[in-house]
Chains A and B, each alone.
Chain A
């Protein structure tokens, strides 16, 4: 990503993205994406790369389209009848909206963690084992056990639950449930993990654990995270994208965005000004 080239201007134009939307090593490339809910356009001609093994934070006020955009990346919007997605969305060069692309397989490659932890009403073991089972990733019981243990370890949860793997997943604390959901996501060996405000329902300690985990996970996965916490975006992401009313207003290195944003609207948003 290029650093922004100048100081902030009073330009309030939102249609042209400020900053470099292209990553040197893109895992996902989105070009000219438009999303409509019936006649209402929620995403307006957005182009953005997700850099491989990096965390990209999507920020912006409520209703700006950041979650809608995130949900396009693993076709979660397919479940909404009135939703229509246009443009090019590529995962390692594969068109994820190609008619031959199986959305179920796509969602194994591009996993998702939601705002509210949503473990299945099953045991901790079964929560993590469910995905590998249905995708046929483990033929033998031992293989399945290894996947479950490795996933729980990567999610930083194994030590806390190793003696009660058969206990219900819903009996865990909020932070543990969210890490269980992350373990469930990584159990199917995804390439990209999408996170929609994964720590907004958690206390500061559980949040810090999740943030530390995200930092570790990026070594293996490409991550996109929607967050309303400016400090969280600043702490965990390498690239930040600011959305405003369906437009991608600015993209840049996170350090740059939070010290010297190039667009007035970005500045207004991250500093809590009227605008």
Chain B
């Protein structure tokens, strides 16, 4: 359900503008990183050298946006002394962009490993076993950004719930890759790279969960980090 934090209902119009700017920049950064993860995964699945290099180069823009949002938030803290939901918004944005920036770093890892696999002498095949995990992670990240755009806690809770599926899929892939390495030791090097990529995707899932937990704090004022989903639901009822 969409929540209305009324961030544009302050007496000071410029304060409204500053908070709205933060919100829009955060969504922009989320969309940018979502694109990075999509491209990173595609570059890996299709072993697309050009796309992989593009993802690596594009990471600078993500980092610059993180710094820009930090600056705007610092300025609000210094000049507005926000309280209550405004304070939670600024704090949550500062924490959220750290996780989003790290998601960007994981996307870069996918592309770096794609380049390594492309450069390796015995490249035999595309790492298709990561396709399902990648799609799950991208869908969850997309939904988390949507939840943030609408301050929608129920939506965020669904994303947190779905992270379990991501973890299970990661375990499945790990088992599969171990078997492959035992079957064909010549492929160990590249299989290890695929395993690191699976790990990167799983980490993206964890960062996405963090983002959703910050959103719960932002809207409900309850800190639900390091808490099981059932307990989260109980606490915000």
A271 in contact with B10 given A230-B81, A259-B88 (CB within 8 Å): yes
Q: Is the CB of A273 within 8 A of B83?
A: no
Within 8 A of B (CB), among A7-61: 7-8
Q: Is the CB of A272 within 8 A of B221?
A: no
Q: Which of the listed residues A258, A259, A261 has the most CB atoms from chain B within 10 Å of its own CB?
A: A259
Q: Does A138 contact B (CB under 8 A)?
A: no
Contacts of A230 in B (CB 8 A): 81, 83
Within 8 A of A (CB), among B189-233: 219-222
Q: Which of the listed residues B85, B220, B236 has the most CB atoms from chain A within 10 Å of its own CB?
A: B85
A267 in contact with B85 given A7-B222, A7-B236, A260-B221 (CB within 8 Å): yes
Could you mark each residue 76-105 of chain B with 1 if its beta carbon is under 8 Å from any beta carbon of chain A, else 0? 000001111111100000000000000000
Distance A135 CA – B11 CA, assembled complex (angstroms): 49
Distance A122 CA – B237 CA, assembled complex (angstroms): 61
Q: Is the CB of A260 within 8 A of B84?
A: yes
Contacts of B85 in A (CB 8 A): 8, 267, 271
* Beyond A7-B221, A260-B88, A271-B85, 15 extra complex contacts between A and B, CB < 8 Å: A6-B237, A7-B220, A8-B85, A231-B81, A234-B83, A258-B83, A260-B221, A260-B222, A261-B84, A267-B84, A270-B84, A271-B83, A271-B86, A272-B12, A273-B9
**6 closest Cβ contacts across the A-B interface?**
A260-B221, A7-B220, A270-B83, A273-B9, A258-B83, A271-B86
A-B contacts, 13 listed (Cβ < 8 Å): A231-B81, A259-B84, A259-B88, A260-B84, A260-B221, A261-B84, A267-B84, A267-B85, A270-B84, A271-B84, A272-B11, A272-B12, A272-B15
